Structure 1
């Protein structure tokens, strides 16, 4: 006969809510049921990973997290695993029920937003993670990577756009002085990423120009122009030219620029194993560089 822990895990994997309910009601001691052969993932970890919403709801209502939020051997919470697997519905449930764990990180210093940003996570979960904890945009893992670094390395277009819209800094560098653009998964992602940055910078410049124009109109009217005002107008025109040059000076999508560290050669991605980030002489290897 199959033992209770194995039967419960099998019932969860089958997404059989009725069977899960029967097993737990007859064996309440096995509610959390950590699997020591699988990083000590609990019943809720398993349901979250596979996106089984009804089972997750039942486990929570049955008191699964009453003694504390579950964390496996890697310090991952069920929310982190749901985010990593791109399971939006379960992720939203866990986020609403346990908001205190939004800023928690695992052993690698990664939070739920980082894990979601590099997965094909539905936008509602990504938006909710940021809206409920805006400071999470600047959180860094143990290597200094932000959620934007991970989204870039994974080539997740929607994540890149959303993170930038909410104010993620594309110029933020990690512990190795690499920006998120350096980690672009491929040339197409790099071109798309740069176009987003250019659009964002263009809107910023246009916004500043609009403010100056409104200020000018507010003090408008027919009047004599003094030398000081004339100089101010010339200065304003110079500032406008400077702003236009700043936008024009950004690297164009698909064209060589100063983004890549060595002639468009890319940094190792944040998803590589840490052991593979350095070569034998202690220097950090670059992908496609031959180092």
Structure 2
């Protein structure tokens, strides 16, 4: 399409040769874009001020699920997108505006993933902290495969995110690290498959069950990424068992001493 400039008494306009329409040369093209797309562009650009301004004019776009994206992003809300990108200022803005309602529950995409899961998988520490602090119960939510945010953090090898989740999770870290997905895999299975030493240590310290088998009867050790990580995990397990045995013995001795 070609255009040519015309000058009139009212200023400069453009004539489109394709349809003969006249448009003012100074028009703000951004305002012509659908608000659904504008707010997503603002989120991708990490422009919290623009996001706030768009939502002020279009409060119905607070969630704005993506119905046109790829299968991976299908159903992602504004919070999903901001969390996945690690844009914590926008995440806090959306939370403050009521994006995640305690009565309705967290927004879920088509794979039933929460924004917290995406942030944990990507290792965005500040975002994980913001969402977990705002509503700790969301840590327990499962996606269509039975995975939760703790498993996603373990799979991604993000130890700081994992520690934040285990700090806030209702019911305590012990129960959280012993949960399994639909295939019987625990966070320890996922961490072992990636060989992240810090994550393995954190999970075992929290009480992860190293003997737990998935539906294929495999333990976490059998998923070890390498021989080195397998040896490391076995040593960690042995060390943890020794510590627990020592604690049990100390408690038993204390009880005997008290009764005597």
| TM-score of Structure 1 vs Structure 2, range by shorter chain | 0.7 to 0.9
Counterpart among 58, 77, 92 of residue 42 in structure 1: 77
Return 5+ residue gaps in structure 1 as ranges: 221-291
- After superposition, residues 10-159 of structure 1 pair within 5 angstroms as 10-36=41-67, 37=69, 38-66=73-101, 67-123=104-160, 125-131=161-167, 132=169, 133-134=171-172, 135-159=175-199
1:64 Cα deviation (Å)?
A: 1.7
Matched residue, 1:161? 201
TM-score, L = length of structure 1: 0.69
**Structure 1 CA distance for aligned equivalents of residues 183 and 115 of structure 2:** 23
1:201 Cα deviation (Å)?
A: 2.2
1:80 Cα deviation (Å)?
A: 1.0
Q: 1:35 is paired with a residue of what secondary structure?
A: coil
1:205 Cα deviation (Å)?
A: 3.9
Matched residue, 2:19? none
1:217 Cα deviation (Å)?
A: 8.4
**Structure 2 CA distance for aligned equivalents of residues 210 and 24 of structure 1:** 59
**Conserved 8 A contact 2:157-2:194:** no
**Conserved 8 A contact 2:159-2:202:** no
| Count of matched residue positions in the alignment of Structure 1 and Structure 2 | 219
CA RMSD in angstroms, aligned pairs only: 2.3
**Structure 2 CA distance for aligned equivalents of residues 136 and 76 of structure 1:** 17
**Structure 1 CA distance for aligned equivalents of residues 190 and 229 of structure 2:** 13
**Structure 2 CA distance for aligned equivalents of residues 198 and 17 of structure 1:** 49
**Conserved 8 A contact 2:195-2:226:** yes
**Structure 1 CA distance for aligned equivalents of residues 258 and 52 of structure 2:** 69
TM-score, L = length of structure 2: 0.77
Counterpart among 228, 238, 251 of residue 198 in structure 1: 238
Matched residue, 1:257? none
1:126 Cα deviation (Å)?
A: 1.7
1:113 Cα deviation (Å)?
A: 0.5
Per-residue CA distance 1:262-285 (angstroms, 9 max, x = gap): xxxxxxxxxxxxxxxxxxxxxxxx
Per-residue CA distance 1:145-175 (angstroms, 9 max, x = gap): 1111011112221111001001111111111
**Conserved 8 A contact 1:70-1:77:** yes
1:129 Cα deviation (Å)?
A: 2.2
How has the CA–CA distance of structure 1 residues 17 and 197 changed in structure 2, closer, same or farther, with 3 Å as cutoff? same
**Structure 2 CA distance for aligned equivalents of residues 197 and 187 of structure 1:** 15
**Structure 1 CA distance for aligned equivalents of residues 63 and 257 of structure 2:** 67
1:85 Cα deviation (Å)?
A: 1.0
- Structure number with the higher strand fraction is 2
How has the CA–CA distance of structure 1 residues 214 and 27 changed in structure 2, closer, same or farther, with 3 Å as cutoff? closer
1:128 Cα deviation (Å)?
A: 3.4
